[in-house]
């Protein structure tokens, strides 16, 4: 008797559920999906193999196609713009570590763990929800990449239509694992919907901000030039681990600020050749922007 009732109830329940879907208009459903899955900053970190490679494996032996990545929600209340403002403020005081000062609750400095994950289980609940909301986590979240390798691994791993819906991202560019220019064809073909990009450039030796260094970073930034950018933010950062232990000289600060403005303007110009010309200009200008203090001269050149 129970089984027969169950057989009669299930079709009715399915009909009710089907009818209830039509009660909420599409715009209301989209608001619900965005509330559940959007409006976050998502950290994308290199995996254990990358971190081990910095000490155990020479960087030239690491194949970015085989390196994993990990992702988790950002718990910092500081936005990328505020982050850049803090970075520029630090240049007038003492250098600080970029990641630990702005995202202390997101990333463990020892194990590099990302504890909070974005819940996407609702996408598995039914076909209609998946069709309506599957791309929203890519389109309406901000992605924060800790290295060039993390960008490449992430973009290579996700599907083409997922990558082309990404609109906003931040990137920390350092002296390790910045393979962006080598993977320029992949990034240019997949990141065609990118509208907002922020690049935090870390310098391990600030006084060595020479033409070849600026050319290298300009070459990496050129991969974003074909994207339909609406805003671009570039902030040069004297890393805490550098040999600079005092306020950088005004000449160096002026050079860094001028280069930031130049890169932002060329990115927004959406003309890749303008960035390529910047590469040539900076490569030819190989003189030191500002020499290191005499007592640190040996240290700087030995790094």
Closest to 142 measured CA to CA, from 194, 192, 99, 190? 194
What 3-state class would DSSP assign to 53? Answer: helix
For residue 161, CA distances in Å to 38, 58, 81, 120, 169 come to 18, 34, 28, 18, 17
User: Which two tokens mark 132?
Assistant: 């309506």
**Helices in the chain by DSSP H: which ranges?**
2-21, 26-37, 48-53, 80-90, 98-102, 127-133, 136-139, 148-157, 160-163, 184-190, 211-221, 250-268, 272-284, 297-302
Tell me: pLDDT of 14 over 70: no
- In this structure, is the dihedral angle defined by the CA atoms of residues 144, 231, 210 and 275, taken in order, positive or negative? positive
Average pLDDT, the chain: 69
pLDDT in tens, 117-166: 677 888 888 888 888 888 999 999 999 887 887 888 888 888 899 999 99
Q: Break the chain into its structural domains and give their ranges.
A: 38-302
pLDDT digits (tens, 9 = 90+) for 246-301: 556 677 777 788 888 888 888 888 666 655 665 555 555 444 343 333 333 333 33
- Which pLDDT does position 296 carry in this prediction? 38
Please name every residue paired with 44 in a beta bridge, in sequence order, or none if there are none: 71, 145
Mean pLDDT of 3-27: 53
**The predicted structure's pLDDT at residue 167:** 95
Convert the pLDDT of each residue in 49-82 to its tens digit: 444 444 444 444 445 445 456 666 776 666 767 7
pTM of the model: 0.72
Could you tell me if 286 and 211 are in contact, meaning their C-beta atoms sit under 8 angstroms apart? yes
Q: Which residues contact 243 (CB under 8 A, 6 or more apart)?
A: 205, 292, 296, 299, 300, 303
């Amino acid at each position: 008797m129970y089984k027969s009732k169950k057989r009669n109830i299930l079709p009715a329940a399915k009909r009710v559920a089907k009818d209830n879907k039509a009660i909420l208009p599409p715009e209301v459903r989209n608001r619900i999906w965005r509330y559940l899955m959007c409006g976050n900053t998502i950290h994308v970190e290199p995996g254990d193999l990358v971190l081990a490679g910095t000490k155990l494996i020479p960087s030239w032996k690491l194949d970015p196609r085989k390196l994993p990545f990990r992702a988790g929600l950002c718990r910092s209340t500081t936005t990328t713009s505020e982050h850049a403002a803090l970075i520029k403020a630090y240049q007038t005081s003492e250098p600080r570590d970029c990641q630990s000062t702005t995202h202390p609750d997101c990333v463990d400095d020892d194990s590099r763990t990302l504890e909070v994950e974005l819940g996407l289980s609702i996408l598995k609940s039914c076909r209609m929800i998946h069709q309506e909301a599957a791309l929203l986590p890519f389109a309406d979240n901000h992605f924060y990449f800790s290295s060039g390798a993390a960008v490449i691994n992430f973009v290579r791993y996700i599907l083409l239509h997922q990558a082309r819906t990404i609109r906003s991202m931040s990137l920390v560019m350092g002296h390790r694992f910045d393979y962006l220019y080598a993977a320029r064809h992949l990034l240019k073909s997949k990141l065609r919907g990118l509208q907002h990009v922020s690049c935090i450039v870390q310098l391990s030796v600030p006084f060595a901000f020479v033409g070849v260094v600026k050319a290298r970073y300009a070459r990496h930034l050129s991969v974003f030039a074909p994207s339909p950018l609406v805003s671009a933010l570039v902030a040069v950062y004297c890393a805490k681990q550098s040999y600079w232990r005092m306020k950088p000289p005004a000449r160096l600060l002026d050079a860094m600020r001028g280069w930031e403005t130049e890169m932002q303007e060329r990115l927004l110009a959406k003309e890749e050749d303008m960035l390529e010309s910047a590469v040539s200009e900076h490569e030819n200008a190989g003189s030191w922007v500002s020499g290191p203090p005499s007592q640190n001269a040996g240290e700087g050149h030995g790094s």
